[in-house]
Chains A and B, each alone.
Chain A
């Protein structure tokens, strides 16, 4: 079962990276035919490179979340139902050690995976299009951090929900982030304060989304004029929350979600 999941993930990743290379190949091969929108005041190469990298980052986050959910969806409820968990938790090592080791295991795999896909996509764009993001490493780390937060949420979900319900819940949260991004875009287009506000609140409530926005912001950090446009492109929409504020907030969020998961697990009947 687990091996099949890994095989599917590796296959999907290979397909994605190949398609991404193909897209780069065609876009940069026909660069002369591309004109950035009138209000974006940058050269065509930067526009195309940032655009493609932004899309790759969304795909990376999505694939990372899928992997995270597969690894953690049934760590407590699912394994308890199948009888895998009981022989382990009655041992003296205890429940919190067990949950923490599952967290570290999933986080290790997912962080390595996200960084691999992020840097591979960046190298593909760099080599085919000769364009590199303004910040090389930080956006990757933020994407990885976002996936780690999803892992914590999914582990908490696995303590209180059945596997199926947890999978649905985590993807609904992910979808909520998506909707919040769209809301932000709409809010900007309509210049509606209330809609922008709603989007910002959701970004704080689901910091993986805010981290993704911040990562997106950083790839064109030094290119004036482009950031605003780029951020409204992806399904996750505009970054109105960013910088150290969101990083520190995310770290605190991770700790709180983790603590709740450990507490709930310590009290759960198995």
Chain B
């Protein structure tokens, strides 16, 4: 869809050694993060981890204490960086007397989009708000406003989309809409950074996930990498034994070895940890 650059394509978002201090609180303690072209990256972590601070720096709302952030190769906060992105704030509001259509029209003007009525209709359709185009923001539920916020972030076909807790006010149907939307955006090659403090089906569609805790990256990788095996459990007449580090591929060999050693094998189970386990473990929650 998009014309490639000669040579290295700059990352949609690149954050290096980012630190942010609010008085005595250190919200970010040297964070590195990249969102490649067309990549969908999830930034997970409990409340207060610093996710919103990182995104606010990326969109130019907050100035970093040290370190730098670039959007498509341009310094975060610069005009060209801002022109390349769409942003949904964690806490946002549109003027209550605007209709959904007028909100999008305002943002088309601000973003210099020439999409006109066709773009607005397409975006409202995308977030399942076609029927509410003429509804005033005051008369919308929180979930509808959040979906309108997502549509607003998509005005002007941004190269990079930053969504701060986009599903926090959504019911399961709304979350599904967002998941389908993210999959559609991935097909279109839009880069996305998605912030969330909870793991739902939406976060599971990410290409990569970074887990932030108290301003530091504590885990990063693809969901598959983060849901790695935790060993194999073998039940014999000798009792239940866990072989840590073993994977599914090791299971037949472990069974043969046990039989060769004269044991009766009653069962074998491959233990895996889900992304959720990894997440809970990383942020210090309970695991089973």
B89 at interface, CB cutoff 8 A: yes
Chain A residues in contact with chain B, CB under 8 A? Answer: 82-84, 86-94, 267, 269-270
Contact A91 B110, CB 8 Å, known A269-B63, A270-B61: yes
Which 3 pairs of residues, A with B, have the shortest CB-CB distance? A91-B110, A83-B92, A92-B83
Contact across chains for A87 and B61 when beta carbons are under 8 A apart = no
With a cutoff of 8 Å between Cβ atoms, the chain B residues found around residue A267 in the complex are: 63
Q: Which of B62, B95, B111 contacts A91 (CB 8 A)?
A: B111
| Chain A residue with Cβ nearest B20 | A269
Interface majority SS (helix, strand, loop, mixed), chain A: loop
A90 touches B93 (CB 8 A): no
Contact between B62 and A269 (Cβ–Cβ < 8 Å)? yes
Within 8 A of A (CB), among B64-120: 79, 82-83, 85, 87, 89, 91-95, 107, 110-112
Is there a chain A Cβ closer than 8 Å to B59's Cβ?
yes
| Residues of chain A contacted by B62 (CB below 8 angstroms) | 269-270
Residue of A nearest to B87 (CB): A90
- With an 8 A cutoff between CB atoms, is B152 at the interface? yes
**Contact of B61 with A90 in the complex, beta carbons under 8 Å:** yes
Q: Which of B61, B83, B91, B112 has the most CB of A within 10 A?
A: B61
Query: Can you list 25 A-B pairs with a CB-CB distance of less than 8 A?
Result: A83-B89, A83-B92, A84-B94, A86-B61, A86-B87, A86-B89, A87-B89, A87-B94, A87-B152, A89-B60, A90-B59, A90-B60, A90-B61, A90-B82, A90-B85, A91-B82, A91-B110, A91-B111, A92-B79, A92-B82, A92-B83, A92-B110, A93-B110, A94-B79, A269-B62
Given known pairs A87-B152, A269-B62, A270-B56, the reply for A92 and B93 (CB within 8 Å) is no
Q: Which residues of B contact A93 (CB under 8 A)?
A: 110
The interface residues of chain A lying within 8 Å CB-to-CB of B91 are: 83
Residues of B within 8 A of A83 (CB): 89, 91-93
A86 vs B82: C-alpha distance when bound (angstroms): 12
| 13 extra A-B contacts, CB within 8 A, seeds A90-B61, A94-B82, A270-B61 | A83-B89, A86-B87, A86-B89, A87-B94, A90-B59, A90-B87, A91-B110, A92-B79, A92-B83, A92-B110, A92-B112, A267-B63, A269-B56
Restricting to B17-72, which residues have a CB under 8 Å from any CB of A? 56, 59-63
